[in-house]
Structure 1
Amino acid sequence: MKCPRIAILGFAIESNRFAPVSTREDFLSRAWLKGADLMTDARRDAPVMTPEIPAFVRTLDSIGPWTPVPVLFANAESGGAVEHAFFEDTMTEFERGLRLALPLDAVYICEHGAAITTEEDDPDGAVFALVRSIVGPSVPIVATLDLHANVSDRMVDSVDALISYRRNPHTDMAERGADAARILSELVNGMHTAVAHVRLPVCAPPTQLLTAPGTGPYAEMIRRAEQIDDARVVNVSVVGGFAFADTPKNGLTVLVTTRNDAPLAARIANELASYGWQERAAFVPQLTPLDAAIRLAKTVADDATRAPVLLADVADNPGGGGRGNTPFILRALLEAEVHGAILGVVTDPELVADAVQAGVGATLLARFNRSENTVHSERFEAPARVRRLHEGKGVGRRGQLAGCRFDLGPSVALQVGGVTVIVISKRHQCHEPMFFEMFGIDIAGARVVALKSRGHFRAAFDEYFSDDRIISVDAPGLTSPMLSRFDFRKLPRPVVPLDTLPAWQANARTIIPGERA
């Protein structure tokens, strides 16, 4: 086919049902790219959008002539359920853009896959089904997903191939966008797929879904998937899921896409799922209690011969819907008189405004969370000195944000006792060294580093900390890996690790998209 017309769109957010509602402003302040603006950003050296679409575009450019039809890409930091009225408006934009673009030869959907709205448990499925209803049964559709997606039957049934990340931290987003381009090109040129998927009764906390070698059964499932060497196999995705979305479609899911070979797809899916089930005990989290973590931090701070440590505040991860403002680790560091510590990033626009008004070098009473009334966001006060101010804008240096623009809003470095605290205005998880370095802070010179991030920091801070120096701290928060602390209402039960299941048998569901018509 000469110069195929390929539409691009996506609605990307990871929704935590226990967090405050995500609003229109959350998307507009992060990425709301419509029409030509979408393509302009996709071709920037340092785009605002996540890397999948730029890689998709570059790969199709390299394959041959095509006509991009950019519709809309909407992306926000992980948060609570999306305001349903805003989601409906977004769906209207998708429908209008697609209908105006007809006829189309293919569609690429860049989705996170773990969204919920205040009224809908499967908005990702709604997006996929809408696209299919508009373009018809025979037009190829490929979608990429975060490996923390929750996969529904409706999502699988609506597209020809689903591709999820394989790395956690997510350092392969561009590679998966490139995969989507190559697979879609094959589909446009006549290839047909068969898809098998099986969902395990496992809702693993995010800390148990790392993918570095030796980190657990999830990493091993992906390793086995990548070792499959069979020309009939198009893609194998092992999708870890996101427990905090609390939906009926939650659960670790294996997706296998073949070149029209349904039995092969089912066999591979069942084998991988059976292995994951066999190793289910490893999906129970192991954290270090807060008091033990602080004792270690104090020892390290007082003994220069000890290697520095990193404290991961996994329970207050903005990348999973946390508010980025719980005071527990900061308060404990101050009470223990730990010195030589840096902590980031805390979201508190009112405190930033106070610091900006006071000016560099001024002292003030830092009032954290003065008007915050969400769960765990306790008010906390401490004397502080303003070390430095920054506009909060930059380009990532390593890991997931490498080469991508970020905007934390007006930001400040405060000296609070022996701890340098980075406070920002726009909520963001701390997974990029530049969040400290833009203030002139030498991370290598710190004795203790505390980060509000669950795991993505590992891909960027590995130049400073080996895994044995990283402590995942058990503190309160909206993203605590201790799932028993949450009042789940919609998770499919029983489910590991919340329940005991004596037996389960993998039985993959298969579809052949080419027979849809």
Structure 2
Amino acid sequence: MKTKRIAIAGFQHETNCFGVTKAGLPEFEMADSWPGMLRGEKVLLETEGMNLPVAGFAAAAQAAGIEVVPILWCSAEPSAHVTDHAFETICGMLFNGIRDAGHIDGVYLDLHGAMVTESLADGEGELLRLIRELVGPGTPVVASLDLHANISAQMVEYTDYLSVFRTYPHLDMAETGARCVPVLQQLLAGETLYKVFQPVPYLIPLHAQHTGSAPFDEIYQLPVRFERQEILAEIALGFTAADFPDTGPSCLAYSATAQKAAAAAEEIVNLFMSREADLDCSMLSLEETVSTCRERREKPVVLADVQDNAGAGGTSDTTGLLAALIEGGVKSVLMGLFHDPECAMQAHEAGEGAQIELAIGAKSNLAGHVPVKAEFEVLALGDGTCRYTGEMYGGGVATLGKTAALRLVGHEADIDLVVTSIRNQCLDRAHFTHIGLNPTRYSVICVKSTTHFRADFGPIAGDIFAVSSLGDFLCDLKKIPYTRITRRLPNTAIVNRNSPRAGPRFL
């Protein structure tokens, strides 16, 4: 039997519609948390072994005797809208690559699912429509999506199967890509999959989406159970910083019969409805945070600056939490990552061991933020090449640009922090250890991250708290100036952590 040829490509962006800076073509070409733009065989060579969907798909496909035809893979750090120029240019490269590939039997795409461009609310929906137009109705098209995907009916319509991450932190990215392979084989063999898409009617803030906590530790058991019934179930929790009608959670079910798929989708949504009150949307105020830091613990307390997460389009340079800890005189604190190229450059110019006056953070001109002006000692300097060691990104390399470890001097507070020249979500202990700082030696660890940090910092934490410090990625959904969403806010209050926690479409 002739070997099947599958074109593979990736185009990743998670769009914060309320962000400050847009993602142009240079942002997709540069390396940051992930590799820079890859074309042709480099797609395979430079992602091999990584926890990325495209790597998982390629390895599983090759093991199954499928020939993969790599076209292009790129991503940009989450930000405001993708520029029309970037979207059109990258789509053009992708489409030309497929045309030039010769005969192909199918297409696999590594997408995020929450891309908004300057002109398109549903970036992936349009991309998939154009792909379907290019390859025709008879060619299988499968794609993997992020758990935070805002899935639209158009995305479902133009694909034969969508797989979605099942963990947050995302530990199963490669596994999710690999899950597309047996489905693709079924489709290539002529089998029919009926699909049902059903939205969940309420939004869920990202800091409440941890799949190791209630209610998602139960909800994400359903796909595993359904597999034993020959039903493929996929669940997305949505990305709340996108402002368009499809923003929010949803589920997909695929089966050999429409009835089985519909029943599975209905069961998933019913479980979402019955467990809504179990969502933990709590965040500590800055005052409560300082008080919490004074409590004695055997292990570090980890504070998540959830609303200033570069991985959700935040600026990663807000100073509210830093200022509160200084004012509160909190001891033994480690903080990162501050995106501040200006301070990183000043530290490099001064050299290790120097004491210099710096104005840390607040370079993005967000309303209500001012730099923290103080004297700092330059503890260490680096070029920003950071090899991840944690489970989520282990084996990959972060590109941080000129980086500096700094120590606050002349204050009662005892604080070390890391500043970088390229935005990067602080989700791996290597962000600190690569420049000589050991997180386990501190009493308080502050990370500019929403949930991904839990994979690597959770094992060393005495406790974990989300902190309500103003940033460009609001987790208090009542404060987001939505104009286009169609789903309601969750029926659970955003309260102190110690307080009580408050029809199918066939395509």
> What TM-score do you get using the length of structure 1 for normalisation?
0.91
Report the 3-state secondary structure (helix = DSSP H, G, I; strand = E; otherwise coil) of the residue aligned with 2:506.
Answer: strand
Summarize the Cα distance change of 1:292–1:226 in structure 2 as closer, same or farther, 3 Å threshold.
Answer: same
**Whole-Å Cα distance in 1 between the matches of residues 337 and 147 of structure 2?**
24
Deviation by residue 1:319-359 (Cα, 9 ceiling, x = unmatched): 11111111011111111121211001111011100000000
Q: Does 1:71 pair with 2:63? A: no
Please report how far the alpha carbon of residue 495 of structure 1 lies from its aligned counterpart in structure 2 after TM superposition.
4.3
Report the 3-state secondary structure (helix = DSSP H, G, I; strand = E; otherwise coil) of the residue aligned with 2:113.
Answer: coil
**Whole-Å Cα distance in 2 between the matches of residues 153 and 276 of structure 1?**
20
Match of 1:236 in 2: 233
Letter in 2 for 1:78: P
Please report how far the alpha carbon of residue 279 of structure 1 lies from its aligned counterpart in structure 2 after TM superposition.
2.4
Please report how far the alpha carbon of residue 363 of structure 1 lies from its aligned counterpart in structure 2 after TM superposition.
0.8
Choose 100-109 or 352-361, whichever is displaced more: 100-109
2:442 maps to which of 446, 467, 470? 446
Please report how far the alpha carbon of residue 306 of structure 1 lies from its aligned counterpart in structure 2 after TM superposition.
4.9
Summarize the Cα distance change of 1:394–1:102 in structure 2 as closer, same or farther, 3 Å threshold.
Answer: same
2:42 maps to which of 7, 28, 37? 37
Q: Does 1:355 pair with 2:347? A: yes
**Whole-Å Cα distance in 2 between the matches of residues 479 and 371 of structure 1?**
16
Match of 1:492 in 2: 486
Report the 3-state secondary structure (helix = DSSP H, G, I; strand = E; otherwise coil) of the residue aligned with 2:14.
Answer: coil
Deviation by residue 1:108-150 (Cα, 9 ceiling, x = unmatched): 0100001101111001111111111111111111100001000
- Residues paired across the two proteins, number: 489
Counterparts of 1:249-288 in structure 2, within 5 Å, are 249-258=246-255, 260-283=256-279, 285-288=281-284
Match of 2:498 in 1: none
Summarize the Cα distance change of 1:358–1:461 in structure 2 as closer, same or farther, 3 Å threshold.
Answer: same
Summarize the Cα distance change of 1:90–1:377 in structure 2 as closer, same or farther, 3 Å threshold.
Answer: farther
Please report how far the alpha carbon of residue 78 of structure 1 lies from its aligned counterpart in structure 2 after TM superposition.
1.1
Summarize the Cα distance change of 1:376–1:237 in structure 2 as closer, same or farther, 3 Å threshold.
Answer: farther
Please report how far the alpha carbon of residue 25 of structure 1 lies from its aligned counterpart in structure 2 after TM superposition.
2.0
Match of 1:60 in 2: 61
Would the aligned equivalents of 1:326 and 1:376 in 2 still touch at CA under 8 Å? no
Summarize the Cα distance change of 1:446–1:163 in structure 2 as closer, same or farther, 3 Å threshold.
Answer: same
The structure carrying a bigger helix percent of its residues is 1
Match of 2:323 in 1: 331
Match of 2:423 in 1: 427
Q: In percent, how many aligned pairs have the same letter?
A: 29
> What TM-score do you get using the length of structure 2 for normalisation?
0.93
Match of 1:473 in 2: 467
Please report how far the alpha carbon of residue 190 of structure 1 lies from its aligned counterpart in structure 2 after TM superposition.
2.4
Counterparts of 1:89-128 in structure 2, within 5 Å, are 89-128=89-128
**Whole-Å Cα distance in 2 between the matches of residues 252 and 19 of structure 1?**
21
Please report how far the alpha carbon of residue 371 of structure 1 lies from its aligned counterpart in structure 2 after TM superposition.
4.3
Match of 2:496 in 1: none
Summarize the Cα distance change of 1:494–1:203 in structure 2 as closer, same or farther, 3 Å threshold.
Answer: closer
Please report how far the alpha carbon of residue 67 of structure 1 lies from its aligned counterpart in structure 2 after TM superposition.
2.5
Structure 2: where are the runs of 5+ without partners? Answer: 494-502
Deviation by residue 1:301-329 (Cα, 9 ceiling, x = unmatched): xxxx6542111101111111111111011
Summarize the Cα distance change of 1:145–1:370 in structure 2 as closer, same or farther, 3 Å threshold.
Answer: closer
Structure 1: where are the runs of 5+ without partners? Answer: 500-506, 512-517
Letter in 2 for 1:90: I
Report the 3-state secondary structure (helix = DSSP H, G, I; strand = E; otherwise coil) of the residue aligned with 1:383.
Answer: strand
Would the aligned equivalents of 1:376 and 1:477 in 2 still touch at CA under 8 Å? no
**Whole-Å Cα distance in 2 between the matches of residues 447 and 217 of structure 1?**
30
Q: Does 1:296 pair with 2:292? A: yes
**Whole-Å Cα distance in 2 between the matches of residues 295 and 249 of structure 1?**
40
Q: Does 1:317 pair with 2:309? A: yes
Please report how far the alpha carbon of residue 271 of structure 1 lies from its aligned counterpart in structure 2 after TM superposition.
1.2
**Whole-Å Cα distance in 2 between the matches of residues 23 and 257 of structure 1?**
36
Q: Does 1:193 pair with 2:193? A: yes
Please report how far the alpha carbon of residue 93 of structure 1 lies from its aligned counterpart in structure 2 after TM superposition.
1.4
Match of 2:221 in 1: 223
Letter in 2 for 1:101: A
Q: Does 1:13 pair with 2:20? A: no
Summarize the Cα distance change of 1:218–1:306 in structure 2 as closer, same or farther, 3 Å threshold.
Answer: closer
**Whole-Å Cα distance in 2 between the matches of residues 97 and 237 of structure 1?**
29
**Whole-Å Cα distance in 2 between the matches of residues 146 and 3 of structure 1?**
30
Please report how far the alpha carbon of residue 448 of structure 1 lies from its aligned counterpart in structure 2 after TM superposition.
0.7
Q: Does 1:23 pair with 2:24? A: yes
